[in-house]
């Protein structure tokens, strides 16, 4: 069986960090290491290659490792996964923190690629287009892992990032990415993703960068309309991944630690 959990600090484990991708296991390692100075942290690593499989895998990890209802802090795709799990298994989740979440309604999606490509040079746009074709191609295509890693660098979505030499020990799995993302995108198109809001009973906070190509309004507006209460925090001069931003990372950790303690 593939490793599907990393632990930081000591018990009790009060927070679980849910990585993005799908298929970017280990992505939140840097955040886990910082938080573990003052609290016990779980970093589940999603190994299932279906949306349903990832939800159930996360449920099993939390039931096995958490000592009670836990705070889920999900990044990017992980924000959606945490959102779905909190709706399906409300007794497992004390609080939900969505970091750099994708938009919850289809009408906001076009802005993501438009913003990303507008920030690239002509040659980078051409390269990105070819990489996307390779990543999304059906079947077992040689070079897909390298293409996904290069695409992550090219479309870094960062404002002014610090170097991240080990990228948090992240291991990219393009097959998980392609299979799970197809299902996740359809869930959003169908309205099923946003419908989860009606089943969520815990407090929800969203933390978003103003430079993130995933439009902040695509998170804020739908969730304010459907959740009983949403705390929305917009970080200035901040891209998709707040903890790598030179100007914003300290503020991000200040906000995150405050949310985790409340």
Q: Contact at 8 Å (CB) between 18 and 41?
A: no
Domain-embedded: residue 130: no
Q: What does pTM read for this prediction? A: 0.91
Confidence of residue 76 (pLDDT cuts 50, 70, 90): very high
Task: Say if CB 100 and CB 189 are below 8 A apart.
Answer: no
Please calculate the CA angle 118-187-235 and round it to the nearest 5 degrees: 45
Residue 138, domain member (yes or no): no
Is the N-terminal amide bond of 149 cis, ω within 30° of 0? no
Is there a domain that residue 188 lies in? yes
Those residues whose C-beta lies under 8 Å from the C-beta of residue 86, and which sit 6 or more positions away, are: 72, 92, 93, 96, 196, 200, 202
Q: Is residue 159 part of a domain?
A: yes
In-domain check, residue 136: no
Residue range(s) defining the domain that contains residue 12: 5-120+155-261
Please tell me the total count of domains within the chain: 1
Q: Length of the chain, please?
A: 262
- Helix axes of 51-65 and 77-88: crossing angle, nearest 10 degrees: 70
The pLDDT tens digits of the residues spanning 221-248 come to: 999 999 999 999 999 999 999 999 999 9
Pairing of strands 70-75, 93-99: parallel
pLDDT tens digit sequence for 154-204: 777 899 998 764 555 677 788 898 899 999 999 999 999 999 999 999 999
* Burial bucket for residue 50 (CB in 10 Å: 0-12, 13-18, 19+): middle
CATH number of the domain at 43, please: 3.40.50.1820
By the 8 A CB rule, do 101 and 82 touch? no
d(CA 81, CA 149): 22
**Chain-centre distance for alpha carbon 65:** 21
Contact 45, 26 (CB under 8 A): yes
Q: pLDDT tens, 6-45?
A: 999 999 999 999 999 898 889 999 999 999 999 999 999 9
Beta strand pairing call for 24-25 and 171-172 = antiparallel
State both tokens at 99: 């970091």
Burial class (CB within 10 angstroms; exposed 0-12, middle 13-18, buried 19+) of 262: exposed
C-alpha span between 21 and 96 (Å, rounded): 19
For residue 215, the Cα-to-chain-centroid distance in whole angstroms is: 14
Sheet holding 70-75, edge to edge: 5-8, 40-44, 13-18, 70-75, 93-99, 204-209, 230-235
In a domain, 56, yes or no: yes
Structure tokens at 59: 């449920």
Q: Give per-residue pLDDT as tens, 104-147.
A: 999 999 999 899 888 988 898 899 888 888 877 777 778 877 88
């Amino acid at each position: 069986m593939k490793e599907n959990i990393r632990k930081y600090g000591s018990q009790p484990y009060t927070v679980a960090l849910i990585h993005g991708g799908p298929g970017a296991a280990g992505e939140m390692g840097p955040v886990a290491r910082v938080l573990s100075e003052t609290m016990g942290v779980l970093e589940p690593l999603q190994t299932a290659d279906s949306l349903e499989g990832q939800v159930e895998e996360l449920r099993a990890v939390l039931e096995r490792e958490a000592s009670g209802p836990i705070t889920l802090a999900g990044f990017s795709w992980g924000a959606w996964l945490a959102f779905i799990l909190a709706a399906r298994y409300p007794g497992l989740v004390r609080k939900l923190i969505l970091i750099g979440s994708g938009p919850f309604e289809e009408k906001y999606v076009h802005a993501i690629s438009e913003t990303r490509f507008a920030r690239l040079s002509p040659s980078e746009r051409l390269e990105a287009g070819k990489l996307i074709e390779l990543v999304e191609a059906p079947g077992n295509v040689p070079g897909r892992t390298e293409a996904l890693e290069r695409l992550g660098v090219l479309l870094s979505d960062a404002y002014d990032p610090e170097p991240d030499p080990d990228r948090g020990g992240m291991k990219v799995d393009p097959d998980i990415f392609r299979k799970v993302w197809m299902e996740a995108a359809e869930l959003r198109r169908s309205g099923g993703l946003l419908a989860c809001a009606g089943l969520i009973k815990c407090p929800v906070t969203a933390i978003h960068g103003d430079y993130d190509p995933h439009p902040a309004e695509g998170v804020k507006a739908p969730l304010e309309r459907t959740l009983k209460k949403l705390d929305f925090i917009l970080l200035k001069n901040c891209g998709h991944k707040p903890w790598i931003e030179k100007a914003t990372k300290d503020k991000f950790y200040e906000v995150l630690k405050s949310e985790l303690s409340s």
